[in-house]
Structures are given as C-alpha cells and as structure tokens.
Amino acid sequence: MKTLSGLVIGAFALTAVSAVTPALADGHGNKLMKEVEMKVSNKEHAAVITKRRMAMRELSGSMKKIVGYMKKNEGGPADVKAAAMKIEEIAKVIPGLFPAGTGMAAYEGATGAKPEVFSDAAGFEKVSMTMASLAADLAKAAGDGASKSDLGAKFGMIGKQGCGGCHRTYREKLKK
C-alpha cells in the first residue's frame, strides 16, 4: 500500500510540475538545476526542488506584473487578469510540488521548505488553496472592470493571506 500511495503522490507531483514549469524544458532552469544538484545528491529530489523553485519564480513574476500596473501604470486590467490567473494555476499545484523528504531538514540550503510543510500538510494546502481562490477573485474583478483601488485591495489579500500566510509558517528564506 505504501508503494501505491508513493506512486500516486509521485505521479501527482510530476503532473503538477509539468503543468507549471515549462521553463525548464527551454533551458531557462539549467543554472538553477545545476545549483540545486550541487546540494542535492538524489536526482529526483533535485528535479522536484528545482521545478518548485521555478514555479515560485514564475509566481513572483506574475505578482511583479500586477505591481507594475498598480504602482507604475504598466499594462492594464487584462494583464492583471492574466497574471492573477497564472497565480491561481500555480497555487493550485503548489502542494504537489512538495513530496515528503524534499524539505530543508534533508536539503538545507537547497530549499527553504520548513518541516511544517510536511507535518502540517493540511494547513499548507489550505493556505495554497486560499491563495488560488483570492487570485481567481482578482482575475474576475480585473475582467469585470473593477476600479484600480478594488484591484489593489484584492491583490493585497493575495500578498497577506497567500504569500505571507505561507511564508510566515512554511518557508525559510534561502541565504544567498
């Protein structure tokens, strides 16, 4: 039974990773992959850590696009909607990017995934799904022509409850 559940988890993680991080396929993740492989001897774990770090970079890039609109008038509501939809997509698969044994307890310096990611998996998933829901709400508002101040308030909730909700409990910032 353990083997079957491990296979199911692995298959889910692989599917989630494939859906989120096409950047590795086109070579953008090669530098990161080499960096992680220097710290992680298990090739499967190195690959999943690299892919989730790429997903987080993509999520950060989407957040920056929204900030660009909010603070610098770069782009428009359609760009906010597209970025929010990307955030929602990534947030939905985040829990699958953290298979057991790939946290900082095993690979300090390669990942900032605290032990709480695994010991409180339900809480971790709840924060991720909250972020997905908040991002969907922002995308809908941007598509419906909400005011910039309303979009800003919704975006702020993603930062506080989504990113912040996760980072406060489940992430330790990596030292450069």
Distances (CA, A) of 50 to 33, 72, 94, 125, 137: 6, 31, 13, 20, 29
**The pLDDT of residue 25 is above 50:** no
Whole-number pLDDT of residue 27: 52
pLDDT > 90 fraction of the chain, expressed in percent and rounded:
78
pLDDT of 14 higher than 50: no
Terminal-to-terminal C-alpha distance of the chain? 41
Q: Could you tell me if 173 and 112 are in contact, meaning their C-beta atoms sit under 8 angstroms apart?
A: yes
Question: Of all residues in the chain, what percent carry a pLDDT higher than 70?
Answer: 84
Q: Which domains does the chain have, with CATH numbers?
A: 2-170 (1.20.120.10)
- The band of 117, judged by pLDDT with boundaries at 50, 70 and 90, is very high
- Distance, in Å, from the CA atom of 2 to the CA atom of 123, rounded to the nearest integer, reads 23
CA distance 125 to 95: 6
Q: Are 61 and 21 in contact (CB under 8 A)?
A: no
Q: Which long-range contacts does 62-71 make (Cβ < 8 Å, 24+ apart)?
A: 62/86, 62/87, 62/90, 63/87, 63/158, 63/159, 63/163, 66/138, 66/155, 69/151, 70/148, 70/151, 70/152, 70/155
Average pLDDT taken over every residue of the chain: 87
Q: Which of the residue ranges 22-26, 38-42, 114-118, 130-134 would you say has the lowest mean pLDDT?
A: 22-26
Query: Is the Cβ–Cβ distance between 102 and 111 less than 8 Å?
Result: yes
Question: What average pLDDT does the segment 152-168 reach?
Answer: 96
- DSSP 3-state of 106: helix
How far is residue 89 from each of residues 32, 56, 74, 174, measured CA to CA in Å? 22, 12, 23, 24
Lowest mean pLDDT of 12-21, 39-48, 92-101, 119-128, name the range: 12-21
**Model confidence over 126-157: pLDDT tens digits?**
999 999 999 999 999 999 999 999 999 999 99
Residue 131 pLDDT? 98
Q: Is a pLDDT exceeding 90 seen at residue 9?
A: no
Give this prediction's pTM. Answer: 0.83
